[in-house]
Amino acid sequence: MNYALAIHGGAGTISKQHITPDKEKEYLAVLKEAVLFGASILKSGGSSLDVVEKTVIFLEDIPLFNAGKGSVFTHHGHHEMDASIMCGQTMQAGAVAAVRNVKNPVMLSRKVMDESGFVLLVGRGAEDFAHHCALDFREDEYFFTQYRYAQWQMLKNSEVAEVDHFDNNKYGTVGAVALDNNGNLAAATSTGGLTNKKFGRVGDTSVIGAGTYANNNTCAISCTGYGEYFIRNVVAHDVSALMEYKNMTLADATDVVVHHKLKKAGGEGGLIAIDRQGNICMPFNTQGMYRGCANAKSENIQVAIY
């Protein structure tokens, strides 16, 4: 067995002074639970594609993160969510953007990949397809959290679209990458976007090659950060390209992209990555990133924030 799994719950200016000890313990406990959940499926022979989907669904259902149930409010007081998934074995991918009331957007992304014949569906059309697939929908109240509502109240009369934490600038995307026992890689990502976003803004999460990418020849990547920079720099694919065309290791490629190219461009955030040998990298150029990982070589579950 040579399975490996990594997850993230957002990166940003995350400092101990802004997180109570109890809240820190809560985040770490949830991250560990998510890693254990995904790793148990891999250990029992599950596919990397199923694992990244199910693990991101797990994270979408937790209101601590800006994805699914805990998504932020748009300028008009709605929740518009983006998600994507990619299979490293087939290079097939599915993504959705600006969907409302879909309980688990990453599940819809998987349906887009498997059943639509397309890669990216947006807005009302994506929701129609979700109904066609008989996926679960929820009323607005399901996605409501007092914390997200308070953030929106602070910004709704302004022209500002903010990352999801007004007191500690966290980019609240969630994601998972995995290598299964058959040597197949996969990646999935999901987000609620920016608080007070307007005009149907879409970030990198649903852009294959920017926020999500998987290729059995190189690596699987899921990103978190200020999406516009990740789109402009095609961050997820850039890591893969450096490995494929310059024969870089995963560690060197992710270091170049996150700490040099992205940072030089003004982009903040991070990513999780696994290569075909099961090596894991989780670099970020911010103060912290909610993250965790596990692999077949070690029984230890690693979770961290700073």
Q: How far is CA 223 from the centre of its chain?
A: 6
**Residue 221 is encoded by which pair of tokens?**
């990547």
Measuring CA to CA, which residue among 188, 224, 193, 216 is closest to residue 278? 216
Beta strands in the chain (DSSP E): 4-12, 81-87, 93-99, 120-122, 170-171, 174-179, 185-191, 212-214, 219-225, 269-275, 280-281, 288-295, 298-304
- The three-state secondary structure class of 30 is helix
Q: Which residues contact 145 (CB under 8 A, 6 or more apart)?
A: 63, 69, 70
CA dihedral of residues 18, 23, 28, 29 (deg, nearest 10): 180
The residues assigned a catalytic role are: 173
- Contact between 47 and 182 under an 8 Å Cβ cutoff? The reply is yes
